[in-house]
Chain A
Amino acid sequence: MKNLTDFKTRLKIAKERQKSTHKNEDNKGNLSSMGGAFKLSTDLVAHVAVGTIIGFILDSWFDTKPWLIIFFFFLGSVAGILKVIKVAKRMQEKD
């Protein structure tokens, strides 16, 4: 079979070509719409949860119950909403 050696050289050429071509460096997360929806919802919840947990830990360190937990709860909410806006904007840009 001469085709098989042919195949090997073709493979080599393809590998060379892959090395030389550089894909565009800028990123756009290519989420499908359902994956995007899951991402937005869990991001919002996770930010609030993480903010509250940080507040709780700092409260027990500095003995300032309940002020830091309240402060960080709101900060977490702000962070979550900002993140969701950022991601949604990026999704819109792509369409």
Chain B
Amino acid sequence: MATNPMHQFEVYRIGPEIKIAGTDLSFTNASLFMLLSALVICGVLFLGTREKKLIPDKLHLISEIIYNFIAKMISDTAGTKAKPYFPFIFSLFMFVLFCNMLGMLPYSFTVTSHIIVTLLMAIFVFIAVTVIGFMKHGFGYLKLFVPSGVPMVLLPLITIIEIISYLSRPVSLSVRLFANMMAGHTMLKVFGGFVISLGMLGGWLPLSFSVALTGLEILVAFLQAYVFAILTCIYLNDALNLHH
């Protein structure tokens, strides 16, 4: 019963086929899990912050810890000027975190293991940061590509290098999240397959490996959400406080 380890990443349709103007807009398992994580986030935060209590319960405590964590991260990396962007970064972090964590449940689907999802989020961040930068600094934002103290001869080359560096932001942001999630889940499935094919005698070793890997995957799921959010903060900082 050793199944294909890539089978878990398959996107299939749930319910009827919906086609609008030639585009397939059917409800898939990917949409189901995105919707599910959005609902879980809303549920946790709504139930957690429903009333102001003197002695917080668990959900209350969790939502306050997450709130403080993100607020501190933003003020540490991007300064007080980035406070208005808190809701965006908080939602981004929560969405990535809950998509990753829901993907850790058996038989579930990991939305963030598809590059189109992560690339879309990264491109959104990229465009938003560029627009914010131009809104705050006008054409002065282009100074980002011209570092000071460079000899005139090298300036064109350095400018091209800086432009490549700027354009590679969404690529590295999305590939990091996608590759981590996909590699981790494939590895879990492969070790799970070993357990079955080695049977009662030799299956204990891969089983212990997969227990350890599950712990590692939960760490990676949190870490990648954190890295995604903190890099968004760093890019926002570049756009808000232009000093190079």
How close is B240's CB to chain A, nearest CB, in angstroms? Answer: 10
**A54-B171 CB under 8 A given contacts A3-B54, A11-B52, A31-B227:** no
Check: A27 CB closer than 8 A to any chain B CB.
yes
Return the contact of A42 from the options B80, B172, B223, B226 (Cβ within 8 A): B172
> In the assembled complex, which residues on chain B have CB atoms less than 8 Å from the CB atom of A11?
52
Return the contact of A23 from the options B79, B175, B180 (Cβ within 8 A): B79
**A27-B164 CB under 8 A given contacts A7-B54, A45-B175:** no
Main secondary structure on chain B at its contact with chain A? helix
Compute how far the CA of A40 lies from the CA of B59 in the bound complex, rounded to whole angstroms. Answer: 35
Name the CB-closest residue of B to A48: B168
Check: B237 CB closer than 8 A to any chain A CB.
yes
In the complex, the answer to whether A32 meets B52 with C-beta atoms within 8 Å is no
Name the CB-closest residue of B to A3: B54
In the complex, the answer to whether A47 meets B223 with C-beta atoms within 8 Å is no
**A38-B176 CB under 8 A given contacts A29-B234, A49-B171, A78-B161:** yes
> In the assembled complex, which residues on chain B have CB atoms less than 8 Å from the CB atom of A28?
76-77
Return the contact of A31 from the options B79, B162, B230 (Cβ within 8 A): B230
- Chain A, interface size: which category? 35 or more
**A35-B234 CB under 8 A given contacts A27-B78, A46-B172, A79-B165:** no
Name the CB-closest residue of B to A29: B234
Check: B75 CB closer than 8 A to any chain A CB.
yes
> In the assembled complex, which residues on chain B have CB atoms less than 8 Å from the CB atom of A43?
168, 172
Number of chain B residues whose Cβ lies closer than 8 Å to a Cβ of chain A: 33
Check: A50 CB closer than 8 A to any chain B CB.
yes
Please encode chain B, from 12 to 43, with 1 for each CB lying within 8 Å of some chain A CB and 0 for all others.
00000000000000000000000000000000
Please encode chain B, from 156 to 173, with 1 for each CB lying within 8 Å of some chain A CB and 0 for all others.
010011101101100110
> In the assembled complex, which residues on chain A have CB atoms less than 8 Å from the CB atom of B223?
32, 34-35, 38
Contact residues, B193-244 vs A (CB, 8 A): 219, 223-224, 226-227, 230-231, 234, 237, 241
Check: B73 CB closer than 8 A to any chain A CB.
yes
Compute how far the CA of A39 lies from the CA of B235 in the bound complex, rounded to whole angstroms. Answer: 14
Check: B179 CB closer than 8 A to any chain A CB.
yes
In the complex, the answer to whether B167 meets A50 with C-beta atoms within 8 Å is yes
A26-B79, A38-B176, A45-B172 known, 13 other contacts, Cβ within 8 Å? A4-B52, A4-B54, A7-B54, A23-B79, A27-B234, A29-B230, A30-B73, A30-B76, A38-B180, A47-B165, A50-B168, A79-B165, A82-B165
Q: List 22 A-B contacts (CB under 8 A).
A: A3-B54, A23-B75, A27-B77, A27-B79, A27-B234, A28-B76, A29-B77, A29-B230, A34-B223, A38-B180, A38-B224, A39-B227, A42-B175, A47-B164, A47-B168, A47-B172, A49-B171, A54-B167, A75-B160, A75-B164, A79-B164, A79-B168
Interface residues of B, Cβ cutoff 8 Å to A: 52, 54, 73, 75-80, 157, 160-162, 164-165, 167-168, 171-172, 175-176, 179-180, 219, 223-224, 226-227, 230-231, 234, 237, 241
Interface residues of A, Cβ cutoff 8 Å to B: 3-4, 7-8, 11, 22-32, 34-35, 38-39, 42-43, 45-47, 49-51, 54, 72, 75-76, 78-80, 82-83
